[in-house]
Amino acid sequence: MELFADALRSLGSERPVIDVGCGTGHQTHDLASQGFRVIGVDPSGAMLERARRRYPELHLVQGDAGLSSVPDPVFSGVLARYSLIHVPPEQLGGVLALWAARVQSGGVVMTAFQSLDAGLHTDVDEFDHAVAPAWRWRPDAMAEALAGAGLVERWRLVARPGDGFHRFPECHLLSARPPE
């Protein structure tokens, strides 16, 4: 999250940052407390209600990853921590293209997702999730999907937390829209 915030700061933009799948608002609040103008978006009214009770100062809207509920036409960045996992694979490219079209020149998109174990020879794999259908991605396949939308990978971090709570490796991947 610190590297994402640093990338946003380097833009010096006043445009909003969109937190897709903001849930109870923790990351939205963190970014707002650092001085960013943030809009949290989540499809769950119940999650947004919890976020509003805890962080009444946040700008939160109900909506999905397509971001049609966000009125601002251009963003400085998009944060999608463990929310793209719920977008069906056949819809992912379209969602990313919508984001790329609305992210400002030089703007950044950070995705975090459960990734596939080394040795699995597929790009995407459905897994059981307590909330909704979910898919985990091979990091190279997610980077290719972002590139197909016009977003260039800047860095990625793949880790396997050894805490017994996380079942799969995790990937954080930062991409940017090339400057015009």
80-133 pLDDT per residue, tens: 999 999 999 999 999 999 999 999 999 999 999 999 876 667 899 898 887 788
CATH number reported for the structural domain that contains residue 33 in this entry: 3.40.50.150
2-38 pLDDT per residue, tens: 999 999 999 999 999 999 999 999 999 999 999 999 9
What strand order describes the sheet that includes 152-159?
59-62, 38-42, 17-20, 75-81, 103-114, 170-176, 152-159
Q: What pLDDT is recorded for position 65?
A: 95
Q: What pLDDT is recorded for position 139?
A: 94
Contacts of 11 (CB under 8 A, 6+ apart): 76, 77, 104, 106, 107, 108
Q: Structurally, how many domains does the chain consist of? A: 1
Position 145 pLDDT exceeds 70? yes
pTM score, two decimals?
Answer: 0.93
DSSP states of 38-88 as a string? EEEEES-HHHHHHHHHH-TTSEEEE--TT-TT---S-EEEEEEES-GGGS-
Instruction: Provide the token pair at 120.
Output: 């699995």
Split at pLDDT 50, 70, 90, the class of 165 is confident
Residue for token pair 């943030």: 38
Instruction: Provide the token pair at 6.
Output: 């640093």
Report the percentage of the chain scoring pLDDT > 70: 97
Position 161 pLDDT exceeds 80? no
Position 162 pLDDT exceeds 80? no
Boundaries of domain holding 145: 2-176
